[in-house]
Amino acid sequence: MNNKFSLSFKSSLVWFRRDLRCFDNAALFSALKQSQSVFCVFIFDKTILDLLSARDRRVQFIHQSITELTSELEKLGGSLIVRYGNSEQEIPELAKKLKVNAVICNHDYEPQAHLRDETVRDALSQFDCDFLSFKDQVIFEKNEVLSLAGTPFSVFTPYKNAWLKKYFAEGNDFFSKPYPVERYAHHLSAYNETRIPSLSEMDFDTNQSLVSVLQGGTSAAKAIFEDFLNRMHLYDDTRNFPAIKGPSYLSVHLRFGTVSIRQLVREAVNSTRTAAHMQGAQTWLSELIWRDFYFMILHHHPRVVEHAFKPAYEAIIWESGVKADALFSAWCEGKTGYPLVDAAMLQLNQTGYMHNRLRMVSACFLIKDLGIDWRWGERYFALHLNDFDLSANNGGWQWAASTGCDAQPYFRIFNPITQSEKFDAEGKFIRRYLPQLAKLDHKQIHAPWKASRSILKEAGIVLGETYPFPIIEHDVARTKTLARYATVKVSKKNAP
């Protein structure tokens, strides 16, 4: 069955996943428009949750978002059924119990999600229940932006140009128009089973200190977005400096759909039309297009989840054994001896967030200074980032490793000291997460081991005790990395 609004159902079930909002929601709008009555459900999926630690902040974020979504749906005359179990079992069972004609949701592009959805689709077909899904978390997906030859792009700039051309060809923000859910909200049906399982019932901590750091729900997303709108014009100038308020801080809300990508793109495009805001808005719009780009790459090349986008780079021999384990542990714990890298890792470990510039710096350090397989770092980020998104995380790590599409050349290796001097010149960010270095001046703080013994003593620093010696010498590591990558014979025929 195709996804056309002309279809009509007596009743349907909307399955919320990565779209935790009731406004401008493609699946909810479609269900309401096509159905006489619409039920709504969210599953705390054990298949996913069982892999997470009890202190995973994302579960608290989702729980907050579900609580608010429940309230918003009730205001519209509906309700939210919340279950804790395996989606492959819970969705078909609920659909059968409610006697709905269709289960409707929004696309999820990850390989494991495809398998889950096919399992659900097959189960629903056993009792003639349709399964429909819609595009919601991107502007353009799958084959919607292709080269003139009809093939997927593998370089960002041509993709971006084609994306912009397609977007503006329709005019009037056609591709980012909101779905008017409220117009058909009277088709929502309430259900008497709406209890939300507590975090403790699902074996997750209810640590209030985590809640204060990360607020879920559409109201939190709205407040963050409104704040960013007031400084979007500065985005191009401020986004690379971790000590100042430069990013939008909307990535986790985009990840879980408590904000609409269509709204963000509309605002970005509208701001590009104002001379004073143009540069900042254009740069931010470009970042949103990168997001679409990586979703497209994942769709066409799902093998990137496990393998290098450029097959030739699979020949790289990474560090292994006890040495690699020790280097990796030091990186994870923020004990490399390079302050900017360590501060970045401590920010991640303590808050679940890492500034985008620091993601590049820390990833490059792990791969090209320590010689560790990029997949190790990718998995660590996946476990700890609040805004973890498979496509963007994989794309970012493969960019840093020079193994991905449109990645930095393998010989371009970030120097962690110069990166620190350039993007945290006064050491404000470093001092925030490494207070033991606070008494060093602006020059010394980037490389404490270069300071004299007297200066270190005056600052209360004992290298090897209060702060580690560098675990690697950058210049030596750089030479080794160039040799490591030189074994790869890169040619056009290696490209997928």
CA distance 60 to 210: 8
Cα separation, 476 vs 370, in Å, equals 10
CATH of the domain at 448: 1.10.579.10
pLDDT greater than 60 at residue 486: yes
Task: Tell me the CB-side half-sphere exposure of residue 424, using CA atoms within 13 A.
Answer: 28
Tens of pLDDT, residues 56-101: 999 999 999 999 999 999 999 999 999 999 999 999 999 999 999 9
Residue 2 has pLDDT above 60, yes or no: no
Task: Please report the pLDDT score of residue 311 as a whole number.
Answer: 92
Q: Is the pLDDT of residue 152 over 90?
A: yes
Q: pLDDT at position 208, please? A: 56
What's the Cα-to-Cα distance from 437 to each of 5, 343, 467, rounded to whole Å? 61, 11, 8
Are residues 444 and 342 part of one domain? yes
Q: What is the CATH number of the domain that holds 248?
A: 1.25.40.80
CA 386 – CA 64 distance, rounded (Å): 14
Alpha-carbon gap, residue 305 to 364, rounded angstroms = 19
For residues 347 and 483, membership in a common domain is answered with yes
| H/E element, 83 | strand 81-85
Residue 419 and residue 446 share a domain: yes
Share of the chain above pLDDT 70, in %: 96
Q: How confident is the model at residue 487 (pLDDT cuts 50, 70, 90)?
A: confident
Pairwise CA distance, residues 328 & 334, whole Å: 10
Query: What whole-number distance in Å separates Cα of residue 482 and Cα of residue 442?
Result: 31
Residue 146 resides in a domain: no
Residue 205 lies in a domain: no
> Which residues make beta-bridge pairs with 455?
none
| Model confidence band, residue 209 (pLDDT cutoffs 50, 70, 90) | low
Same domain, yes or no: 339 and 461: yes
If one counts the domains in the chain, the total is 3
Do 320 and 464 have their domain in common?
A: yes
Task: Clarify whether residues 100 and 123 are in a common domain.
Answer: yes
Residues 289 and 362 in one domain: no
| pTM for the full predicted model | 0.94
pLDDT higher than 90, residue 122:
yes
Structure-token match 């008017």, residue found: 180
Which residue range is the domain that position 93 belongs to?
A: 9-136
The last residue of a domain, from among 235, 268, 300: 300
Average pLDDT for residues 187-192, to the nearest whole number? 95
Q: How many CB atoms lie within 10 A of CB 316?
A: 20
pLDDT interval class at 350 (50, 70, 90) = very high
Helices (H), 247-320: 251-256, 261-272, 278-300
Q: Are 175 and 168 in contact (CB under 8 A)?
A: no
User: What is the predicted pLDDT for the residue at 160?
Assistant: 98
Average pLDDT over residues 319-347: 98
pLDDT (tens digit per residue) in 287-307: 999 999 999 999 999 999 999
pLDDT tier at 277 (50, 70, 90 boundaries)? confident
3-state secondary structure of 272: helix
Domain boundary among 106, 136, 166: 136
Q: Mind telling me the catalytic residues?
A: 287, 290, 318, 356, 374, 397
**If 0-12 CB within 10 Å is exposed, 13-18 middle and 19+ buried, where does residue 211 land?**
middle
109 and 241 together in one domain: no
Q: What is the residue whose two structure tokens read 């890492």?
A: 354
Is 142 inside any structural domain?
Answer: no
